[in-house]
Structure 1
C-alpha cells in the first residue's frame, strides 16, 4: 500500500452522528430529529445531498432545513457543527504514517463553503497531500467518479490505496474500484489496522 484516503467527519473527528444529536439536544429537539431528517426523510436527505454536491448554497440549505426543524436559520450550519472535535488519536496516527512516506488523501462530503467553512480550523492542506471536498468538485460519495478523482490526484492506482470511512455504504464503490477498504467504528481498531497495513511496510 502506497496511499491512504480517509473521510473527515467521523473518522478524523468525533462521531459525526453524535455531533448531530448534540445539535438537536441543544436546540430543544428530540435527540434524533436531525439524524432522521437527513437519513430517513426523502426531502431532507435530498437537501443534504444537494448541499454536498454544490447544487444548492448554504443559505438555501439553512432556510429549508430550519423550516423543517422549526429552529432559526441564521447560523444553522455553524450550530450543527458546534460539537465537532478532533480525534487526536487518529490525527496522530495519520501524521505518523505520512511521515513514513505514505501519501495521504482526505475525501469529504461537504456542508458547503459559502459563509461557513467547517474545515477552516483543521489545516487539512498541511495534514494531507490531497484534499477533495465534494461541493468543490460537484461530486459526492458514493459517486464512483469521486474515487477516480482522488486516486488521480494522488497519482496512485486503486490497488495501492486503502480507503477508510465511517459510513459503510461509501466503502462499496471504493472497493469496486479496486481499493482496499476499512469501516471505521473505533479509533483504536482503525489505528491498529493502519499500523498493520502501513508501518510494517514503511517502518520509518
Structure 2
C-alpha cells in the first residue's frame, strides 16, 4: 500500500510539473517568426528560457551571438504589447496583470557577420524553448494589485487625454469656422461700405452740379 501511495504521489507530481513546465524545440531561419499562445491568469508569472543552436558541418552547436527578439502581446486587449526585447539574453519573466491569452513570439537574428558569410542564406537555428508558470507570493500579489490599480489609472488618464484631444480638435474646428465666417462678414461689410460711399459721393456730385446750374441761372 505504501508503495502504491508513493507511486501515486510521483504520478501526481509529474502531472503537476507537466502542467507548469512546457519544453520543446524546433528549427528556424534568420528573420523567421514563431508564436506560441499561453493562457495566463491574473497574478501568475511566465518564465521563458531559450537556447539557440546553429548548424555547422552537420552538427548543431550553441550560438551566443545570435540576437533573439521576444515579444509578448495580450490578444484579449487588441494585441497590446506588454513585453518587447531584442538582445542575446535568452531569458524573460513577465507578470500577468489581467487574465487572458498571451501571444509569445520569437525571431532569431544572426548578429555575427561571420555567421552570415559562413552559411549564407542556409542558416538554420535549432531553438529550444522552455516555459514555466508560477504563482505570486502574498506580498507579490499585493504589489500586483498596486500595479493593476496604477495600470487602470493610466488607462483612465489616457482615455481622458483622448477626450481632451477630441474636444480640442472640435474647438479648433469651430474656431477656424468662426474665423472664416468673421472674415467673410468683414469682407461683405467692407464691400457694402465701399459701395455706399461711392453712391454717396455720386449723389453729392450730382447735387453739386444741380446747385451750380441753379446758381448760374439765378445770376443771369
TM tier, smaller: under 0.3
- TM-score when scaled to structure 1? 0.21
Larger Rg: 2
Larger strand fraction of residues: 2
- TM-score when scaled to structure 2? 0.20
